[in-house]
Structure 1
Amino acid sequence: MRSLYSKIIMPIATLIIISLTSIMIFSVININLFIVPDIKQTTEDLISSKSNEISYWLGMRISEMKQLVSAINVEEVNAEEIEKNIKMLRNYQIRNIENYESFGIISKDGVKYLTNGDIISVDSREYFKKISEVDKEYIITDPIISKSNEVEIILIIMKIRNVEGDVVGYLSGAVSIEYLIDIVNRANIYDFPVELYNKNTGCVLVSTMVNINEKMNNSKFTKFESNIDNESSWSIKMMVPDRFINRKIKETAIFTILLGISILLLTIYILTKYVKSITRPIEELKAKMNFNDIKKLSKINPDDKIVELNSLGITYNSMIENIETLIKKLEIEERLKKEAEYKALYSQIKPHFLYNTLETIQAMAISDDNDEVETAIGNLATLFRIGLSSDKSFIKIEDELKHLTSYVNIQLLRYGDKFTFKLNCDNINKKSKFMKFTLQPLVENAIYHGVKLMDKIGHINVDIYCLNNNYIIKIINTSDKIDKNKINKVNELLKNDYKKENEEGYGLYNVNQRLKLNFGEKYGVRLEINKSKVIAVVTHPILEEVQDV
């Protein structure tokens, strides 16, 4: 087995040599072969993309104009024919107002009927002469200023033919050049001169030449140009200063230095990863010795490649065996402690109701009310049989409901004029296991702190239904006065596992604590308010069905 020092020091020198050599080789190749061609190709691609964008935009307008020409379909352009077609053009303009300023139909003698209602003579205008003379089906003019709204536009003039193919007039579409201006401006990413111009007339359609500053005026330029497919006389060009290309070369040199630094950092990273592969067993041992969660301690496989780590691993595993023995001992002690705590809690609630019940039966016996005495004694017998005859913590839910019903019947003998009671539990499995003495303390709380204090008759409902593998139990009682602050305080105490004895409503806290001890923190009791009603909501898991519990 090699020492830890020898496994780390040897690759360091090799990695540094490889890193420095890579920097020098890459620097020479990158500067001589890639920089200038990349700059030119990128600029050419940019201009070409803008050319295609303009050509596509023009193509869309030309296609739309052709469709309009086919829709006009007249034998002769005259006042009567124009009147019925101008409405169609006006509707189309409204729907495409972002592209078209106006439309016009031009007769062969140069009278132009516009969609805004104007009628003008254009026989002396250059575009009319040109469309009348050329063999092309359409022409596109250089930018002009619209006389109707002073907006800069171009005109697309297209011939209208009859069924025999003879020219009977022309369709004119006035298109705003805002979109062309936007395309040219977006091409101007470095504030270099960019312009869209007509090669035949020399007219500049759109230009960013105004952005040239004094320093650029003294520079030499390399021109990048691309023609517009749908208008062969149009072209877009960009003038890139030569000093910009030279600057890029300098920037590349800086980039190369930075790249070299990056390679060194990468080298350090690789070296770090390599060292971690050696020290990982130590880190693993450190992580497993995290005593913040002692139950997660586990043995490791000692590293048999390094002497020091092998010895440390064997020692650690021996320590883990001793800790596991102690944990098992502590777990047994903790379980016994919780069982004793639960039995103490449970024993506190067994005699809670006995004395008041006996006093009630005694009062009825004195008044010789034999039927009620018989009923009261029967209910009390049920209470004793279910509630006090066994030390089991769980019973069938049907027995828990019998226990509750017996308790309520006795209370109705005492307070029959104070409240009514209703139990709704039709859709539950009454054979399933249920925590004993859960419902009665909550109903008792509803009586003594709710309906008993009312000036009029109150109502208590117990609703039990199933939701997500849990029983949801709602004990609902009416109340004349509801103290929201008190309800919030009780909920806070329930949330914090309050368990002080001899406090008002202790039955709530007792049931809540037993639910949490048995099933975990997501189970328990909480209080809600709904208008004049207080609702105790209990969450209890649905347990397996048993025949005898």
Structure 2
Amino acid sequence: MKLGNRIASLASSLSFKRKMIVLMMVILISIVVLIEVVIYNVSIPLQMNAALNENTQEVGYISERLDMVISNYDWFMNALTMDDVLQSILKKPYTNRLDEQLLNFDLEQRLISNSILATDKIENIFIYDTQKYRASVLHSHDFDNVYLELDTQRYNSEGNIHWKVEGSKLYIHRAIRDHKSLKIIGYMTVSVQISYLDEIINTAIKRYTLIVNENGQLMLQNQAVSVSGVNFKEVLAKETALQGKSGIIDIVPLGQAMMVTKVSQFSLWKTISIVPLSQVASETRLIGKWIVGIGIVGVLAGSLITWISFLHLMRPLGELTRAMKLVDQENFNLRVNIRQNDEFGRLGRSFNRMMDKIDYLISEVYLKELSRKEAEYKALKAQINPHFIYNTLETIRYLAEFDERDKVEMITISLGRLLKASIDHKSDMITVRDELVYIDAYLKIQNTRFADKVDVKVFVEGGIYGHLIPRFILQPLVENAFIHGLENKIGKGDLLIKGWAEGGMIHFRIQDNGIGMDEKTLSELFNPDRTEKEKKIGAGTGFLNVHNRIKMLYGDPYGLNVQSSPNIGTIVEVQLPIQPELGGNFHV
């Protein structure tokens, strides 16, 4: 019920255009799903039966070819072991080493002559008497040295042919019986490269083929089995469970697979073929994937056509919707351009008339507020200059009392520079470089007054010298550090002026170790009524004025941050946005 309600709520929230697109997509997807169901429930079973028949025929063909090869090797072994000349040489006694070597040479020559027509099918031939190794015909030197010694355990005591796989070679062992007395007079081993037989079983890439002898030993397997890591014992167990019949099995790592078994009538060897079902139906699944792909393209194309059609039909309504969203974001200068004479056209013209009225009312209120803030800003800026002049004139008066003419001249020049800058109204914004020049002029005045009482250090990053900041934004803070922090300090004072850029803002720090402020004074520092309460000129008004100027120019994220402790000092931090650079360098 909850899920149904959610679906209904979602459907009701969709626009008409999106509902039609969703409907089109549902119809197309349903058609594609129906086609896929038919493919997987009809086509794949038919292909499975066809693959089973084909696999059964192929396994029968492999078994027949294998019988032919085994019978040829049996005939070859019979021809060698039953040869009268070879048996007579093998039975001849010898009394010394020379006689043995001559007889062995004859054996080797006889083996060569009898096997000359089969050199492309065999590698090496080893012959032994009943006691030891006698001779060999080596077409390949890649063999195990154990075959240079007789081991009767390799051979069937009844004289039957015994096949054995060792590494990459297939060995055929047989005892040599006297064709008259039937007594064992020797033994013979022939090695064959497995690659010769691989051609028989490597008939298909997708088929996993194994050859098992009558004793359940693995004789051959194609390359696909070797690479896949199929376990032979598991294959043998699955084949036993099927009792030699064809069927579907689960085997690691192939998953579900089709198994077909054929027993050779001549050698009794089993040919086991395994074909993964994923490969049997791969072509049908590929067709299904193509249909899915075509269906997806059809869904997208249908959606696109539907979208374009409705976009054209519903364009006026969409334009009005976008306009209303922008109006919600306080964009009141927006107008719509709907030239139709239907309901949408009349709605658009009504919207434009409403926006004209709103824009007029907002503009009127905005201009009044802008005029008020500009007047307030100029008043704040004007409060700084008289306060600075007053403190500077007090310093000049103090020096004049002691007839310090040179110092008075230097202070007067510095004061003149500051006054000239203060009455320059070309721009309210100056570079950090120019503000440092004003501070430098002010410091000359104060250093003259305080002599060596205050140690001033200025560290400003060269990269911010060309950035713009409000005029006289730092000088009042430096002045407050002197007048309200260092002037009444007993002993030597320190003043640090530091500037740097970080996080998209310009930071300034004015730090002194003067008398500081208590918590009450600090809490009242930015109180807007402080200037009315304080009768003493300059008692904290510099902080408030500078702070208010920054807030009016840049907004709440910027301004002053003041930390102070009594008898420890005061730290004033200023945060300003980065303005475009003018270039150049300045060193203080």
Q: TM-score, normalised by structure 1?
A: 0.48
Q: TM-score, normalised by structure 2?
A: 0.46
